[in-house]
Amino acid sequence: MIRFEHVGKRYGRFTAVKDLDFAVSAGEVFGFLGPNGAGKTTTLRMVTGLIQPTRGRIFIGRHDLAREPIEAKALMGFIPDRPYLYEKLSALELLRFVAGLYRLPRAEAAPRITALLEQFELVEWATTLVENFSHGMKQRLVFAAALLTRPSLLVVDEPMVGLDPRGMRLVKQIFRDLCAQEGMTVFLSTHTLDIAEDVCDRIAIIHRGDVVAMGDMPSLREAAGAE
Ligand code: ATP
């Protein structure tokens, strides 16, 4: 679903990401784990086309992100680390607005919105203004908005920040279900080992812009123990 071919990013003379060269399969929950400043957000921003790599190529599905950005971006949903929501809209209005931006036909959007409000336990808040939402409720609404178009790839920067344990469980379960049942791919970043371990099929550990280890949790443990 995602293929990095020797991807790097420099900011001036500073190299934030060195040489990413790996692929993420369809249906996988793939985590980018690393400390602050490791290069996670930079990588996610490159995957979503918000910034361009200084070197290398990124493919989303069959599409080269640099050559076919519209086709590549149509396959994905993105949840940034600090999402922006229109505070003066209700949850329902916001989801209708996003559906309109993506030109989802009304007949298709209405049942989809109802299902997502239910899935993210927001039904009773549907007509409440976003400005009255807690941080966790906003976060759940952001997830609902990102999933409206049924993206093949969901890119999420620090997905669990601001969620309470129940919200976390909900989001983890939704990731697993969507990946298992609909073949959606999730590419997420986190600096929390527990989250990576809990939700990810495979993890890349990034340090100072370099992938220093990659694999599922048991194989990473084994490699760490063997060193
Ligand atoms: P965090 O967990 O703190 O979000 P991160 O792993 O997401 O960290 P990045 O935001 O990708 O890290 O930053 C990687 C490095 O690149 C950091 O040293 C950061 O200071 C630097 N950096 C990021 N954006 C820019 C920019 N626009 N200009 C210059 N340097 C930048």
Side-chain-facing half-sphere of 11: CA atoms under 13 Å: 9
* Over residues 128-153, mean pLDDT: 92
The per-residue pLDDT for 169 is: 86
pTM above 0.85, yes or no: yes
Asked if 194 and 35 touch (Cβ cutoff 8 Å), the reply is: no
- If pLDDT is split at 50, 70 and 90, which confidence band does 227 have? low
Nearest alpha carbon, ligand 1 atom 24: 42
Q: Report which ligand 1 atom has the smallest distance to the Cα of 17.
A: 14
- If pLDDT is split at 50, 70 and 90, which confidence band does 55 have? very high
Q: How far is the CA of 43 from the centre of ligand 1 (A)?
A: 10
Q: How far is the CA of 166 from the centre of ligand 1 (A)?
A: 30
* Over residues 15-21, mean pLDDT: 96
With a 6 Å cutoff on the Cβ, whether 152 touches ligand 1 is: no
With a 6 Å cutoff on the Cβ, whether 14 touches ligand 1 is: yes
- pLDDT over 60 (residue 10): yes
With a 6 Å cutoff on the Cβ, whether 37 touches ligand 1 is: yes
For residue 187, list its beta bridge partners.
30, 155
Q: How far is the CA of 41 from the centre of ligand 1 (A)?
A: 7
- pLDDT over 70 (residue 178): yes
Q: How far is the CA of 116 from the centre of ligand 1 (A)?
A: 33
Q: Report which ligand 1 atom has the smallest distance to the Cα of 34.
A: 6
- If pLDDT is split at 50, 70 and 90, which confidence band does 211 have? very high
The per-residue pLDDT for 99 is: 94
- Percent of the chain residues topping a pLDDT of 70: 99
Gap between the Cα atoms of 59 and 7, Å rounded: 11
With a 6 Å cutoff on the Cβ, whether 36 touches ligand 1 is: yes
* Over residues 195-210, mean pLDDT: 91
pLDDT, mean over the chain: 91
Nearest alpha carbon, ligand 1 atom 27: 11
- If pLDDT is split at 50, 70 and 90, which confidence band does 226 have? low
- pLDDT over 60 (residue 28): yes
The per-residue pLDDT for 114 is: 96
- pLDDT over 80 (residue 147): yes
- If pLDDT is split at 50, 70 and 90, which confidence band does 174 have? confident
Q: Report which ligand 1 atom has the smallest distance to the Cα of 81.
A: 4
Q: How far is the CA of 38 from the centre of ligand 1 (A)?
A: 7
Nearest alpha carbon, ligand 1 atom 31: 11
- If pLDDT is split at 50, 70 and 90, which confidence band does 164 have? confident
